[in-house]
Amino acid sequence: MEERDGGNDDTFKDEISDEKGDDGITVENASVVRNDPVQDGTSPPKVDSPIESLHEKVQKQIIKEGYGKEPSKLSTCFLHYRAWVKSTLHKFEDTWQEQHPTELVLGKEKKQMAGLAIGVASMKSGEKALLHVGWEYGYGEEGSFSFPNVPPMADLLYEVELIGFDEVKEGKARIDMTVEERIEAADRRKKEGNALFSEEKLQEAMQQYEMAIAYMGDDFMFQLFGKYRDMALAVKNPCHLNMAHCLIKLKQYDEAIAQCTIVLSEDENNVKALFRRGKARAALGQTDSARDDLQKARKFAPDDKAVVRELKLLAEHEKEVYQKQKELYKGLFGPRPEPPEPKTSSKNFLVIFFAWFFSLFSRIFKRSGHKSD
């Protein structure tokens, strides 16, 4: 099902509203398409950009340009990466697969992350790069035989995306923050994401939301109860919903569904999560699941015009599909067309020719007989 356009949005509270001047939900505006190179993640990406030497043992090739400035020493960086042994292309780590960004405090990284840290320090927010790291700045002469499993003296390849960073003077990592500090940091990122969204900078907005969510990781949420858990969810869930909003605009429907499902695992009756998941499922042609989500959203928000409109569009789409199928089946199983009238065959032509010849011969014979008398 095609994307339906709606009003733009410049109203930001805890969540991105879906319609200007309305805290309800409605269909989103036109989309912006991602332009990242398509990679499957099983092997290192093929990169044609020039190799930049950052250090004697660390080189970088840019896959996607970032924006803003580079992080300074003691900045807390949030990143995704995949790592391979260069000689065998054995992949030994993938934070994208784990769906949790990694936190790296520049200048306080582990010894085996030294080469990665040098690369990250040269990157800008949103930048994606391929790093070539010598074994001296990786897992060293001995390697690692636990997790991750890296052989001795192994040069490494990293595909890295710097989501963003916080410049805190003391370089405080999340684990050293109080609950209030983590929630405050996440809320600040969420607000920055909303500001970027209002400028239609969807990729940058999503990076801010992802950083906010990184402060609210599963290990952190598992320890929270009562008012602190409520405070954290009041920041975390809107970030997931805002991510889903951006992903729908970018036509990344599967990822949007995943973000909504995270919210629904905490709040099964969340109307915005149901609406946006239903909308994404409809776009993928998952009409039954989409209808279930939208009908449940309507149950909890019976007067919401956007939900009613989306259900109506879904019904119209199903009717249109039914009519097309009906026409198709009619052509397959309907009455056979009348056969065309037969053309004059060669046999009929011969009959006509001999009749004409016999008639001509008869006239000539009669004339000859008439003259002999």
Provide the residue-wise pLDDT of the chain in tens; the chain has 373 residues.
444 443 333 333 445 555 433 333 333 332 333 344 445 678 999 999 999 999 999 999 999 999 889 999 888 899 999 999 999 999 999 988 877 788 899 998 999 999 999 999 999 998 999 999 999 999 999 999 888 899 999 999 999 999 988 876 555 777 788 899 889 989 999 999 999 999 999 988 998 998 899 888 877 888 888 999 999 999 999 999 999 999 999 999 999 999 999 999 999 999 999 999 999 999 999 999 999 999 999 999 999 999 999 999 998 888 887 777 777 766 665 555 555 554 545 555 566 666 666 676 666 666 655 544 4
C-alpha angle with apex 136: 134 to 141, nearest 5 degrees? 115
pLDDT digits (tens, 9 = 90+) for 137-184: 999 999 998 888 999 999 999 999 999 888 765 557 777 888 998 899
Sign (positive or negative) of CA dihedral 169, 175, 178, 179: positive
Give the pairing type, strands 156-166 and 58-64. Answer: unpaired
pLDDT at 96: 86
Bond into 148 cis (ω within 30): yes
pLDDT at 2: 40
Half-sphere exposure of 179 (CA within 13 A, CB side): 15
3-state secondary structure of 42: coil
For 131, residues 6+ apart whose C-beta sits below 8 A from its C-beta are 58, 59, 60, 115, 116, 119, 156, 157, 158, 159, 160
Q: How far lies 50's CA from each of 61, 62, 91, 101, 133, in Å?
A: 6, 8, 24, 27, 16
- Per residue, the 3-state secondary structure of 75-140, as one string, reads CEEEEEEEEEECCCCEEEEEHHHHCCCEEEECCCCCHHHHHHHHHHHCCCECCEEEEEECHHHCCC
